[in-house]
Amino acid sequence: MYPALQSLKARFAEIDDLRRAVSVLHWDMSTYMPQDGTASRGRMIATVEKAAHEKLIDPALAGLLEETGALPDAMLSADERAFLRLARRQFVRASKIPSGFKAEFFQHMAETYEVWVQARKLNDFKVVAPFLEKTVAYSRALSDFFNAGETAWTHPMDPHIEDADPGMTTTDLKTLFADLRRDLVPLVRELSSRSKPRTDFLSRACPKSRQVEFLNWLARNIGYDFNRGRQDLTHHPFMTKLGAGDVRITTRINETNLCDGIFSTIHECGHAFYELGLSPSQDGTILGHGTSAGIHESQSRLWENQVGRSREFWTYFYPHLQAHFSEALGDVSLEEFYCGINRVEPSLIRTEADEVTYNLHVMIRFDIESQLLDGSLQVKDLPGAWNDRYEADLGVRPSSDAQGCLQDVHWYYGGVGGMFQGYTIGNLFSAQCFEAALEAHPEIPEAMIQGNFSTLHSWLKENIYQYGSGLFPQELIHRVTGHDLSSKPFVAYLKRKYL
């Protein structure tokens, strides 16, 4: 009925295809690409990103947005209204960034990633520090682009947060995190003082090939569709969507830490379930993606923790795990295993942290990002500042850069700012979300004991996945729970489980 709307959809479909092509290049770079291919891969990524950006800020696209802006809402479907809202948002944000700058930044990120891989191997932050200094400079420049004109942000991190988690600001998050910290610190202190469960079996040797075999079996049995995806190995696990029928996950194998691969796989499956559960009508459109970093993280954390660390889950899966690794787990009971994987103890590595201490790791990174962007912390001082915060907040001090500020890929494969708050937003919403699912279907825990996740999958698809980016985060949270984002359900969940 509306030619301008159809033309606009076609243009955004082309932009989405270019972005998917970039995802292919990134996936290959993080899995199979030879080390010496970094420079040329960086140029390729920059070229395609620049082409996508130029299509997005094309004056002809601006004309279509203006024309469709006159269309009456009453004559448009809900998806069409959501599409136009998101299209305008993307155009306005992209128009603030010069295409040459974006291409340059993406090439720099590709080069920085490879240097970070080497720095981790060498356990030497100084190797990658000059690259991170440039990343901080690029990130500040992005903040300046968004701070020009009518918009005036309170903190240079605000535009980065808005990009990842629309509707959130640095001030909002600091308030939310302060509330959470008040509950977490005494809880961590109490649980850390208790006698510790047995965990010696978690560091026993388990061959890499057998872990890969089990993890693929596990992913399939919790619902991951290998006809529409695959699982590969990488340095820092991630999920990537290359198309509606191609949503890939990666994991990391540690031959003396069986849990590393298990919970990485379950976590990335949660991300993949979200993308694979989108409405088919959204394929190839800007609605055909998760709505924000925090909402996406809520789905991975729900599967990793509320499901994957539950007694019900392992009642079904532990006999299979024990049979597969009988040498390592033959003398370990289900209860010992369950208590061991839920041990609460301050630690150094975020991705290996327990549910109770995990968000303290995120808050440290959030504060450091804020300081790097506002200039109150220099890159050269990052290792010391990181180590001091860990000692102050968690009572442990990294003995190496690899255990400290080199452990996460985010600042070395992206910008600085708005990178970490999504993990805690995700933890909070995962508790609210799972609470709502259980209220609707109290039988879900019993089904998990039988290895059946169909009811949970269906509820998530109906209440979250199908909307894609059609609802902004706060809209979705309120629709699912009837409340705003809050730390209270998450803290209540932790207390029920651990106290």
CATH says 170-498 is which class?
mainly alpha
From the candidates 114, 268, 275, 369, give the one annotated as an active-site residue. 268
Which residue, among 422, 189, 170, has the nearest Cα to 301 in the 3D structure? 422
| Cα torsion angle, 268, 274, 280, 282, sign | negative
- Amino acid, res. 235: H
Torsion of CA 477, 186, 361, 309, to 10 degrees: -70
What is the pLDDT tens value at each position of the chain, 499 positions in all?
799 999 999 999 999 999 999 999 999 999 999 988 988 998 999 999 999 999 999 999 999 999 999 999 889 999 999 999 999 999 999 999 988 898 899 899 989 999 999 999 999 999 999 999 999 999 999 999 987 655 668 899 999 999 999 989 999 999 999 999 999 989 998 998 899 999 999 999 999 999 999 999 999 999 999 999 999 999 889 999 999 899 999 999 999 999 999 999 999 999 999 999 998 888 888 999 999 999 999 999 999 999 999 999 999 999 999 999 999 999 999 999 999 999 999 999 998 899 999 999 999 999 999 999 999 999 999 999 999 999 998 999 999 999 999 999 999 988 999 989 999 999 999 999 999 999 999 999 999 999 999 999 999 999 999 999 999 999 999 999 999 999 999 999 999 999 9
Gyration radius from the chain CA atoms: 22
Please report where in the chains the tokens 């950006």 appear, as a residue: 53
What are the domain boundaries of the chain?
3-127, 170-498
Please report where in the chains the tokens 């290792």 appear, as a residue: 383
268 tagged catalytic: yes
Rounded-to-integer distance, Cα 286 and Cα 253, Å: 34
- Amino acid, res. 399: S
Torsion of CA 206, 212, 214, 220, to 10 degrees: 160
Structure token digits, residue 142: 């992005």
Which residue, among 120, 128, 119, 157, has the nearest Cα to 380 in the 3D structure? 128
pTM greater than the 0.85 cutoff: yes
Annotated binding-site residues for Zn(2+) read: 267, 271, 297
C-alpha distances out from residue 296 to 291, 301, 429, Å? 7, 9, 10
Contact predicate 228/219, CB 8 Å: no
The two beta strands, 231-233 and 239-243, are: unpaired
Annotated binding-site residues read: 267, 271, 297
C-alpha distances out from residue 431 to 221, 365, 421, Å? 23, 22, 16
